[in-house]
Structure 1
Amino acid sequence: MNRLGKSLKVLEIAIAAVGLTAGLSMMAAQAADPAKPDLARGQAIATQVCAACHGADGNSTGGAYPKLAGQHAEYLVKQLKDFRPQPGGKPALRANPIMAGFASALSDQDMINVAAYFSSQTPKPGYARNAATVPLGQSIWRAGVADRGVPACAACHGPTGQGIPIQYPRLSGQWAEYVAAQLTAFQDGTRNNNDPMRQIAHRLSNDEIKAVADYVAGLH
């Protein structure tokens, strides 16, 4: 083999070594990635801890507890963290003694695991129960209330309530009772983890809250 041939051979070996090193590094990084969800672990937590209120698959049986099936995983993780007392001795952004206990017992990784599991489940559809208020609820959802500065709900949560990961939750098919309770909590200050929603809720009447919450339940 001449000198040029030897040089090319050395170069090929070097390139292969670099590629192998990069591949091994990537595999190691993926294996060590703490944010990668473990769905099996998430299912175990859901079954053992969450099922009594939210259902084993995230489809709760009544409006006292939200449906979590199909909800954006990033949103669920944020809410779990907001149930914890905040740094510096500050109170939780969402005041709920029951959820505070559960959330505080979960590691950040297990929050990711259980959120990913619920997000992967299929939500059961809901329906509006009050035909008389559907036009009002639909109007608020699609157009807001212009004279009070209430934006259309669909602008953030989507025309069919699918939401946007991280930023805005999926509301399609959610229990009307739960949606109304959360809007009221934004009104009275017991839920403080979303300033725009606090301002919007303050501009809605109780009847408007009930109407839009019932409309949300029927979205699909």
Structure 2
Amino acid sequence: VPARALAAMAAQEPDSLAALNAVIRASEPLVPGATQAVLGEGPIGAGIAFVGEQPGDQEDLQGRPFVGPAGQLLSRALREAGIDRDRAYLTNAVKHFKFEARGKRRIHQKPTAGEVAHYRWWLERELAFVAPRLVVALGATALLALTGRQVPITRARGPATFEGKPYAGLVTVHPSYLLRLPDTARPEAYAAFVADLRQAAALVAEPALGAAG
């Protein structure tokens, strides 16, 4: 029962990111089929943390976040925006891959609001241990995980305040959105995405960032 499992996890009160990750690794996926939990990656104290939706097929197989096609696009955009991926923290709102099998292919399925809520406990503690100054929500699922509210990205895009959180926020699209666009629309949308990331880099460079939480 997910609620009981969640209560058991909360009772453990891990006192470090490593201890939290041990709990995640030992936990059953909320939906069956995932190979492994995919943990966040990056240094404690990273200036910027990026939160995506959930691991994809390649992430599930490799056990690392943002290594598939969307992750490769994110890496390229980060370089263009002047952000060192190795110095940022990357994670997902949901830690296990949810998919539908079609032949030999595993087709990504969007997590439900209930599944996102199940993983919020982990995400909140994870970000508390990392203590970034700015958290970038990549897409609507990440925004739901960070705020508990479903808001269209078109309305929320840009700098954001995540109520009660000690870090500043910025909302943008998930890189997988760009991959789904027609070729004619992709260059403009990609340029807007890079502009958002440049804004994130500029925000985290401001001395007063996150002072008012």
Q: Under a length normalisation based on structure 2, what TM-score does the superposition of the two structures give?
A: 0.36
Higher strand proportion: 2
Higher helix proportion: 1
Structure (1 or 2) with the larger CA radius of gyration: 1
